[in-house]
Amino acid sequence: MKIGSIKENLEIEKRVAVTPEIIKKYKSLDLNIVLPKGYGEHLGISDQQFINEGVEILDNNENVLSQANLLLQMNLISEENFKKLKNEQILIGVLNPYSNNEKIKRLLDNKINCFSLELLPRITRAQSMDILSSQANLAGYKAVVDSFAYYQKAIPMMMTAAGTIPAARVLVVGAGVAGLQAIATAKRMGAIVYATDVRLASKEQVESLGGKFLIVEGAENLETEGGYAKEASEEFKQKQENLLKETLKKTDIIICTALIPGKKAPLIIKKDMIEVMQSGSVIYDLAASQGGNSELTKVNEIIDHNGIKIMGDSNILNKLPNSASNLYAKNMFNFVSNLYDKENKKININLEDEIIEKTLIK
């Protein structure tokens, strides 16, 4: 049984699905790893490091595709590689079936088994495989660090003989994994932190991190059974808008993290709300690639609107590829381990297992 991974398109994705640290765990299951030459060079990981752990290095991506029974990727492979796959091969990654529906249908027609890890159920047993949580954690941290770099004032309150510098005020929109990490990071750096979320269960988590939760009057709990946010009513959106507009007059930095799985990101920070903010303020929109929570967000651009900087990367984790790859590789191993029948040394697509059933694209 061979596990393989080919190079991603480095222009859009610097993370990898296999790192040297995880090879021993695959070896303990009697699984062999094949990778193409230069697989991790862009991260400072040499082929020799992989070889030292027992990886077989092949000449190119095509050789890996022809030998691997199971292919581990970050994103959906390119269409030119589709025809190089074999019947019953298994492809695992963040395949984004909502926007790649037609491409994935072609793979299924060719009898390729596709597992998309962003479809993992929110259950205790799946936590070690939860790529959305591990990656969102880093994204929330990095969004705060980048925002603070563009904010041209000190973050914590500073008392000096010449006078006092007030602490920066940060608003985190969306208190999921990325939002909670953003709150924790901003708080550690001395900011006064506020947060808002449509899920009332987030209030306790926000307050446990030292943040202040903004509650919309008459709010209902907009949380799905899977623990994700669902779309709010127009009445709720209007009340939220009124509350935020007042809050933004005194806010220095906004971190936007609100997403709805499979849908365009909710528009929360509108242009007229941005215009009440003070010049020098910063908005970092982690939802940029799905349309953005801010009306003025443009992907991979820094917009200056009346002195307010608005930014959002298509993939912020390209700025932390080593850390993100290490976590992703561990998530991936845990998923493969659950899929692998250790006794019979084969892959077992057991549809009675909720994790396998939910992630297999049919």
CATH number, position 242: 3.40.50.720
C-alpha closest to that of 313 among 145, 94, 108, 99: 145
CA separation for the pair 245, 257 (Å, rounded)? 18
3-state secondary structure of 48: helix
Decide if 125 is inside a domain. no
Which of 26, 39, 130, 151 is labelled catalytic? Answer: 130
48 is catalytic: no
CA dist list (Å): 15 to 40, 52, 82, 93, 113 = 9, 21, 21, 12, 23
Which of 66, 122, 188, 337 is labelled catalytic? Answer: 122
CA separation for the pair 239, 33 (Å, rounded)? 54
CA dist list (Å): 129 to 6, 301, 339 = 21, 32, 12
**Interstrand relation of 302-305 and 308-311 (parallel, antiparallel or unpaired):** antiparallel
Q: Do residues 66 and 163 both lie within one domain?
A: no
228 is catalytic: yes
122 is catalytic: yes
Query: Domain limits at 13?
Result: 2-119+321-359
Q: Could you tell me how many helices (H) and strands (E) the chain has, helices first?
A: 12, 17
Which of 28, 78, 99, 127 is labelled catalytic? Answer: 127
194 is catalytic: no
Decide if 226 is inside a domain. yes
Q: Do residues 157 and 256 both lie within one domain?
A: yes
Q: Do residues 215 and 94 both lie within one domain?
A: no
Sign of CA dihedral 268, 210, 283, 311: negative
279 is catalytic: no
Which of 116, 133, 281, 294 is labelled catalytic? Answer: 133
pLDDT tens over the chain, length 362 residues: 999 999 999 999 999 999 999 999 999 999 999 999 999 999 999 999 999 999 999 999 999 999 999 999 999 999 889 989 988 899 999 999 988 999 999 999 999 999 999 999 989 999 999 999 999 999 999 999 999 999 999 999 999 999 999 999 999 999 999 999 999 999 999 999 999 998 888 999 999 999 999 987 665 555 555 555 556 677 777 888 888 999 999 999 999 999 887 788 999 999 999 999 999 999 999 999 999 999 999 999 999 999 999 999 999 999 999 999 999 999 999 999 999 998 888 999 999 999 999 999 99
Residue 18: how many other CB atoms lie within 10 Å: 26
Q: Do residues 154 and 226 both lie within one domain?
A: yes
Q: Do residues 115 and 147 both lie within one domain?
A: no
Which of 46, 150, 188, 228 is labelled catalytic? Answer: 228
